[in-house]
Structure formats: structure tokens, C-alpha cells
């Protein structure tokens, strides 16, 4: 190694006090004779690309003493101060620092860099990265000498800020797009009854402190169901004219089909009687809603109208660092409102088509007539996979003189054309059944007429007529089939198929139809059905009919409704097609009352007709008789009042359901009117309006909404629910 030589100042140069640089030369490494290099320290430091100076920091004093021992020309040019001025002001870059990390690094003699504001001579300043590099011991003894580099970081910091802003904007954009995608997933997968709740909770988790959906029906109300409000909507334009001139932002938003954001100032009270006042009143009653602050309202747009309002509380940027700027937040909320609006519109459009199809189906499907002398129960259920329109139908005809006609048929298809063909065939069969007694002749005439009508859909059906014999006990059965499934006849605990008198489908006869005959005795059961009851993907039609025959033999229900319930539970738990089912039972007054293990549930589908009230009372009596319930007066009255309310105030059809719960009789009446029942105040002289008061006195009651309307229920607790003649050890039956 070469000897270490302290560099000496060159001739004519003014030395910098106390500053020296030691240079080493390795002769062997350099490949030449050892030599001594002498370099001016200030020239070496001035050759550095960045402005620099050298400072001694004495930590033996408090606060630490800083003394500049050298200042480069580049620092003087960057600041505009002379080197002499910088000798006095440069220590402030160290002593003015309040950074604990900087002081600890200098005390430990470790390199460190900080960002400081450096003043210029013209009064301005610039941001700079100030780096401290240790050089060794300084003067006086105990101090440390540091090389300080001052690098202008204005552009660098600006680029870093811009990059940070870009990263934040990208993160907000990703968050917004992720939220919109999640909303789309909820609308596609979630149950419509909870979709708006999930979307509101998602908005609160991601971008806003609070959110809720509102719609106007008979009044403004918060909605949680994606179906919204499709009934009894107020005429807002007429209401605005009647209300007079005045500001009502909510009403204006519901009447305008443009996407916009309306801001409501909670500090300014809304005019009484406006929809805005209704909204603020709803928020005041909601414990989760904000008590103050502005509200943003966005329309939930359908194709042709505003279906609702999305109300949100915008975030406070001073409290939420990740809050979206107003413009970006508005864009995300508009996308959410548009997607919700389209989903609501599609759901309401489907619901309207569904109701139209079901109305058409029900209008063409006849309701069961009450026939004296026999116990008849009928049931129809459309396939849930289709538009609630199909070609299955049934008809029960009271032909006078104790005669009964029963028709069950099936037109191929599940569309409006199939329903129209079904309606035509039903009318034709009903007309010819009234004219001709023999079923074979009825089918002959139907064949001829259908061929002339050019009904494009093939159809099958079975027609049977029952008439009492002279002895008054047995019944004659005459039937004829047009490619339809055989009737199941249950007699004496044995089942058999009435598979005679079969022929081609309707319209394809070409030759005379035949009539089959059988005899029904008291207690016998006849089952008419369509293929939806017996056919499945995992079993053939033949196996399905065999299962029906075997199931019918095991049923010991004493009434047609009970037999039908058991058939549905055993065979139609997951139907894949429309089901039409008619069960006829010949009453047997001499049969002993037996305990039976079937389901203690009943259901009936009845028309919106005053005669339905009497049928409901009769149904309750028949069910209570089958279940051994003797105290039926209260149940009859409650059922008749509930059905009367449905007939008077509802629409669609009336569904009556009974269930023996073990401690009483539960009665349910469903109709298509979603409006809740109203308990009116009783007044002297009022005609009607006392039905719910009567029900309240005799039973517990309530109601619940359904996708198709509402259900009103009541539970009647009779004085002696079980048959008086039973053994005291008997236990009440449980509900199946």
C-alpha cells in the first residue's frame, strides 16, 4: 500500500479553514510506481453535480451547534445568496428541523435524507431533498463533519403527487366498477324480496354513510322488494295541480324521466303536504336514517317512467379520506340507479305478463260447480317453468236430475295459443254435453266441429257422466276418452283403471266413438287427472299411472278434498307440467267414522262470486266432519266473513285453505288484492263493515303479503276441538 499523504493546497489558492481531503493511491493496483496525488478539496466538491456544503455538528451542546465550514458555488447559484451569506444561513437546514429521525441519524453518524423547504434570495422557496453523508470527525473535538447535498425536488415531488393522485383515482374507479358489478350480481342472483336491502347495505359499506330506496303508491314508502309498487299509484300530476304552485323536489323527480341528482337541504323545512315532506317524515321515523345533513336523490328509471327514488347521504371528505369526489360518486350512483331501474322494470313487466296470462287462464278455466248428492273436489296448478298459461282444463257440470258431467282435458303447449284452443274446446264440450247424454256421441260431435274450426293444437280429454240408479244408492258411470289417461276407480279399497272406450285425439276421430260403462257404489271414488300429476323425467307415464293406482288404494280420507290433498302430497311434490285434478266421491252415510292418518289440511279454489261464501261454509263443515271437530259454529262464521271480504274487496280468485293445528282450526283466504284488510270503526246505521269485528271476537287473525296478493288468516279455538266421544287417552292429532 502507498503511504497516506494529506493533500496540500495548490499554489496561489485560498485554503478553506479546517477542510482537508485525504487521498490514497495504491501503486500495485494502479500498475505504476507509488506516487502522491494532491487535489484541492473545494475543487473536488464543486465538481459534484448537485449543490453541496459541509457542516460540523457538535452534539455536546444542547441544542446541537452547527457550523458551516464550506459552501459550494452551485448552492449559491441555486439560492441566489452569496457564499458568505450561506455560511450564516445554511445551518438552519439542520437546526430548524423538528424531525426526531434526522437528529437520531446524525447523532448515530448514519446517512440520512429529508425533504426541506429552501429559501431563495428573491423571497421564494423550493422543495429540496437534503442528504447528509458523514465525512468523519469535525472541529471542535467531539463534533461530526457532514457533506450536505441539496437537490431540487420540485419536479420529483410533483410527479410523486401526480402519481399518488392517479393511483387514488384508479383505486376509486376500481372500487366503483367493482360495486356496480356486485350490484349486477345481486340483481341476477338474489331473491327479489331482499335485493334492494342487499344493494343498500352494499352502498353503505363501500361509498356512502346511508342509502335507501323509496317509491310512491297510495303513499310514499320505503321499499325492500325489487318488485316495487305496481298497484294503487297516485296521480302525481293531478296532485301537483291540486296542490298549487310550490317546490316539491321529490314529486318533480318522480315526474321527470331524466337521470339527475337532486340535493335536499335538511336545514330548510319542506312545505306541508308535499312528497318531500313525506320523505323527511319517513327519515325522521327511521332510526338508521341520518338526522341532518344534505340528501342526494336519484331517480330509479324504468323504460317509460320513474319507478322509485334512491336516497343517499353523501360522505364527508373531511372525515372519510377514501371518499369519492362528488362527480365520481354521482356517476357510480347513477349506474346503480339505472341497473336497479331496469331490473325493476323487467320484473314488473314479467309480473304484468304473468297476471295477464293467469287472468286469461282463469277466465277460460271454469270453476267447479256445487253438485248435490256427490262430493266433488277440483284443483288446477300451472307449471312454474312457463308463463302460467297452459292447455289443461277441467269442468264439472250439474246436468240436473242428479246427473253429473266431468271433463278433464289437455291441449298440447304452454302458450296463449294453447289456452285459446283450450277455451274453444271447453265451450264446445260443455255445449254438446248439455245436448247429448251418451259420452261417445258428445266426442263424435266435438270431432266434427273441431275439424271445421281448424284448431291447430292436438288435444286429449275424457268425458264421463254419472247418474243415480233407481235404487238411489249406486251410480251408473258412462265415459269416453279421446287419447286421454284412464279414469282411476277406487271401490272397496281396490283401485282399477277405466281404460276402455279410448280413441284418437280430438279432431282425428274419423270413426264413431265408443262409450264405456261402470258402476259406482256409496264410498267409491273416481279420479280424473292430466299427465302433470303422474309424468316425470325419471319415470315413464305407465309407471306414473301405476303409482297413482297404488297410492289411491292406500288413502282412507273420508272426503274428496282429503283424497285430493294426499294425492298431491304423494305424487305432485315437484310437478314438471300443468296439473288438473278432479276427485269425485260418492257419499256413504252408513260408513262408520274412522280415525285416519291423512293430512289434516284442505284447499279449495273458488271464483269471485257470492255463491262462493256458501261453498266456503260447506267446505268448513265437510272438513270438520272429516276431522271429528263438532263445535263448528265459530269456524263457519269466521270463514264466511273472510271469504265475503275477499269476494267484495279482492280480485282474481279466492283460495281457501284449512288446517287442523291440534289446538284449533287455522283458516287462510288468499286473493290477488295486495291491499291490507282495514278494521273500520263501527257506527250505528252503517251497512256492512263489521266482518273484521266479528272475526276479532271469535278468533285470532292477521294477514301477510304474497307475490300474488295477500293472505288473511284466522285461528279459531273451539270449546271442544276433538270429538266428544273419544277416549280421554287419545292425543290430539298433529298437523301433517
Predicted confidence (pLDDT) per residue in 561-612, tens digit: 889 888 988 887 666 678 889 999 988 877 665 556 667 888 888 877 788 8
Same domain membership, residue 403 and residue 552: yes
Residue 259 in contact with residue 299, Cβ under 8 Å?
A: yes
Q: Are residues 499 and 410 in the same domain?
A: yes
pLDDT at res. 35: 36
Three-state DSSP state, 723: coil
Segment 692-708 mean pLDDT: 86
532 and 465 co-located in one domain: yes
Residue 214 has pLDDT above 90, yes or no: yes
Tell me, what's the pLDDT at 1? 34
Higher per-residue confidence, 151 vs 516: 516
- Tell me which of 60-69, 219-228, 481-490, 614-623 is least confident: 60-69
Last residue of a domain, one of 581, 597, 613: 597
* In the predicted structure, residue 27 carries a pLDDT above the cut 70: no
Q: Does 120 share its domain with 141?
A: yes
3-state secondary structure of 46: helix
In a domain, 117, yes or no: yes
Cα 204 from Cα 210, distance rounded (Å): 5
Domain range for residue 32? 1-47
* Greater pLDDT, 39 or 288: 288
In a domain, 357, yes or no: no
Question: Do 589 and 666 belong together in one domain?
Answer: no
Q: Is the pLDDT of residue 701 over 70?
A: yes
- Cell numbers of 545, please? 299411472
The count of domains in the chain is 5
Q: How far apart are the two ends of the chain, measured CA to CA in Å?
A: 105
Instruction: Quote the pLDDT of residue 15.
Output: 38
Residues 456, 568 within the same domain = yes
Q: What is the mean pLDDT of the chain?
A: 79
Domain boundary among 152, 182, 202: 152
**CA–CA distances in Å: residue 538 to residues 271, 534, 573:** 65, 11, 14
CATH of the domain at 74: 3.30.450.20
Verify that 324 and 407 share a domain, yes or no: no
Residue 307: φ, ψ to 5°: -95, -15
pLDDT tens-place string over residues 342-357: 999 988 887 777 667 6
Cis ω before 140 (30° cut-off from 0): yes
In tens, the pLDDT along 71-98 reads 888 888 888 888 888 888 777 766 666 6
- Which of 152, 179, 196 is a domain's end point? 152
The answer, yes or no, to whether the previous bond of 63 is cis (omega within 30 of 0) is yes
Percentage with pLDDT > 90 across the chain: 18
Q: Is residue 360 domain-resident? A: no
In a domain, 359, yes or no: no
Residues 236, 263, single domain; the answer is yes
User: Is residue 184 located within the same domain as residue 317?
Assistant: yes
Query: What's 190's domain CATH number?
Result: 3.30.450.40
Asked whether the predicted pLDDT for residue 477 surpasses 60, the reply is yes
Q: Are residues 323 and 378 in the same domain?
A: no
CB 57 within 8 A of CB 65: yes
What per-residue confidence (pLDDT) applies to 9?
36
Tens of pLDDT along 521-556?
998 999 999 988 888 877 788 898 999 999 999 888
358 within domain boundaries: no
User: Is 292 part of a structural domain of the chain?
Assistant: yes
Q: What is the DSSP string of 62-118?
A: SSPEEEEEEE-HHHHHHH---HHHHHHHTTHHHHT---HHHHHHHHTT--EEEEEEE
Q: Which of 7-11, 12-16, 227-231 has the highest mean pLDDT?
A: 227-231
Residue 194 covered by a domain: yes
- Nearest-Å Rg of the Cα atoms of the chain is 46
Amino acid at each position: 500500500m502507498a503511504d497516506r499523504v494529506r493533500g496540500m493546497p495548490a499554489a496561489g489558492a485560498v485554503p478553506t479553514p479546517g477542510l482537508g481531503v485525504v487521498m490514497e493511491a495504491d501503486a500495485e493496483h494502479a500498475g505504476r510506481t507509488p506516487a502522491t496525488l494532491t487535489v484541492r478539496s473545494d475543487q473536488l466538491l464543486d465538481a459534484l453535480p448537485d449543490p453541496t456544503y459541509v457542516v460540523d455538528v457538535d452534539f455536546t451542546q444542547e441544542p446541537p451547534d452547527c457550523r458551516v465550514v464550506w459552501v459550494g458555488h452551485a448552492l449559491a447559484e441555486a439560492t441566489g445568496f452569496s457564499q458568505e451569506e450561506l455560511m450564516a444561513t445554511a445551518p438552519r437546514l439542520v437546526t430548524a428541523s423538528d424531525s426526531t429521525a434526522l437528529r437520531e441519524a446524525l447523532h448515530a453518524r448514519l446517512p440520512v435524507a429529508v425533504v426541506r423547504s429552501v429559501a431563495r434570495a428573491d423571497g421564494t422557496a423550493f422543495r429540496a431533498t437534503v442528504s447528509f453523508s458523514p465525512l468523519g470527525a469535525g472541529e471542535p473535538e467531539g463534533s461530526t463533519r457532514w457533506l450536505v447535498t441539496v437537490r431540487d425536488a420540485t419536479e420529483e415531488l410533483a410527479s410523486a403527487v401526480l402519481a399518488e393522485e392517479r393511483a387514488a383515482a384508479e383505486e376509486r374507479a376500481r372500487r366503483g366498477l367493482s360495486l356496480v358489478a356486485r350490484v349486477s350480481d345481486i340483481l341476477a342472483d338474489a331473491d327479489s324480496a331482499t335485493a334492494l336491502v342487499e344493494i343498500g347495505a352494499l352502498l353503505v359499506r363501500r361509498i356512502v354513510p346511508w342509502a335507501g330506496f323509496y317509491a310512491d303508491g297510495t303513499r310514499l314508502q320505503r321499499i325492500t322488494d325489487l318488485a316495487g309498487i305496481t298497484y294503487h299509484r297516485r296521480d302525481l300530476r293531478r296532485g301537483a295541480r291540486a296542490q298549487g304552485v310550490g317546490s316539491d323536489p321529490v314529486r318533480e323527480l318522480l315526474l321527470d324521466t331524466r337521470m339527475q341528482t337532486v340535493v335536499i337541504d335538511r336545514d330548510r323545512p319542506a312545505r306541508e303536504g308535499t312528497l318531500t315532506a313525506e320523505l323527511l317524515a319517513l327519515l325522521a321515523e327511521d332510526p338508521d336514517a341520518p338526522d341532518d345533513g344534505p340528501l342526494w336523490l336519484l331517480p330509479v328509471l324504468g323504460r317509460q317512467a320513474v319507478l322509485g327514488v334512491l336516497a343517499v347521504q353523501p360522505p364527508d371528505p373531511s372525515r372519510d379520506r377514501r371518499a369519492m369526489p362528488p362527480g365520481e360518486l354521482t356517476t357510480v350512483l347513477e349506474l346503480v340507479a339505472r341497473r336497479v331501474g331496469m331490473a325493476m322494470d323487467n320484473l314488473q313487466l314479467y309480473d304484468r305478463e304473468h297476471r295477464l296470462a293467469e287472468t286469461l287462464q282463469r277466465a277460460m278455466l271454469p270453476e267447479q260447480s256445487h253438485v248435490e248428492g256427490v262430493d266433488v273436489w277440483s284443483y288446477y296448478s300451472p307449471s312454474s317453468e312457463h308463463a302460467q298459461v297452459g292447455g289443461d282444463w277441467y269442468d264439472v257440470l250439474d246436468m240436473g236430475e242428479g246427473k253429473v258431467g266431468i271433463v278433464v282435458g289437455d291441449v298440447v303447449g304452454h302458450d296463449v295459443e294453447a289456452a285459446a284452443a283450450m277455451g274453444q274446446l271447453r265451450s264446445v264440450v260443455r255445449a254438446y254435453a248439455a245436448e247429448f247424454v251418451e259420452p261417445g256421441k258428445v266426442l263424435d260431435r266435438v270431432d266434427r266441429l273441431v275439424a271445421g274450426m281448424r284448431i291447430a293444437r292436438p288435444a286429449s280429454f275424457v268425458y264421463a257422466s254419472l247418474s243415480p240408479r233407481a235404487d238411489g244408492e249406486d251410480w251408473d258411470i258412462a265415459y269416453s276418452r279421446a287419447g286421454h289417461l284412464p279414469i282411476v276407480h277406487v271401490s272397496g279399497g281396490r283401485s282399477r283403471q277405466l281404460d276402455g272406450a279410448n280413441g284418437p285425439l280430438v279432431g282425428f276421430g274419423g270413426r264413431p266413438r265408443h262409450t264405456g260403462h261402470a258402476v259406482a257404489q256409496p264410498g267409491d271414488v273416481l279420479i280424473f287427472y292430466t299427465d302433470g300429476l303422474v309424468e316425470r323425467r325419471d319415470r315413464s307415464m305407465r309407471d306414473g299411472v301405476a303409482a297413482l293406482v297404488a297410492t289411491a288404494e292406500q288413502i282412507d280420507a273420508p272426503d274428496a278434498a282429503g283424497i285430493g290433498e294426499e294425492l298431491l302430497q304423494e305424487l305432485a311434490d315437484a310437478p314438471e307440467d300443468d296439473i288438473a285434478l278432479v276427485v269425485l266421491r260418492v257419499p256413504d252415510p252408513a260408513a262408520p267414522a274412522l280415525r285416519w292418518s291423512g293430512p289434516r289440511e284442505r284447499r279449495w279454489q273458488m271464483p269471485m262470486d257470492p255463491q262462493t261464501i256458501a261453498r266456503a261454509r260447506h267446505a268448513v263443515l265437510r272438513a270438520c266432519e272429516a276431522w271429528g271437530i263438532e263445535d263448528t259454529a265459530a269456524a263457519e262464521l269466521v270463514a264466511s266473513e273472510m271469504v265475503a271480504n275477499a269476494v267484495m274487496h279482492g280480485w282474481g280468485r279466492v283460495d281457501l285453505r284449512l288446517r287442523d293445528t291440534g289446538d284449533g282450526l287455522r283458516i287462510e283466504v288468499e286473493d290477488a288484492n295486495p291491499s291490507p284488510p282495514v278494521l273500520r270503526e263501527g257506527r250505528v246505521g252503517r251497512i256492512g263493515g263489521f266482518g273484521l269485528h266479528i272475526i276479532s271476537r271469535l278468533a285470532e287473525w292477521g294477514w301477510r303479503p304474497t307475490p300474488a296478493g295477500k293472505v288473511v288468516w284466522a285461528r279459531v279455538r273451539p270449546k271442544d276441538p276433538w270429538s266428544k266421544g273419544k277416549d280421554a287417552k287419545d292425543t290430539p292429532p298433529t298437523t301433517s
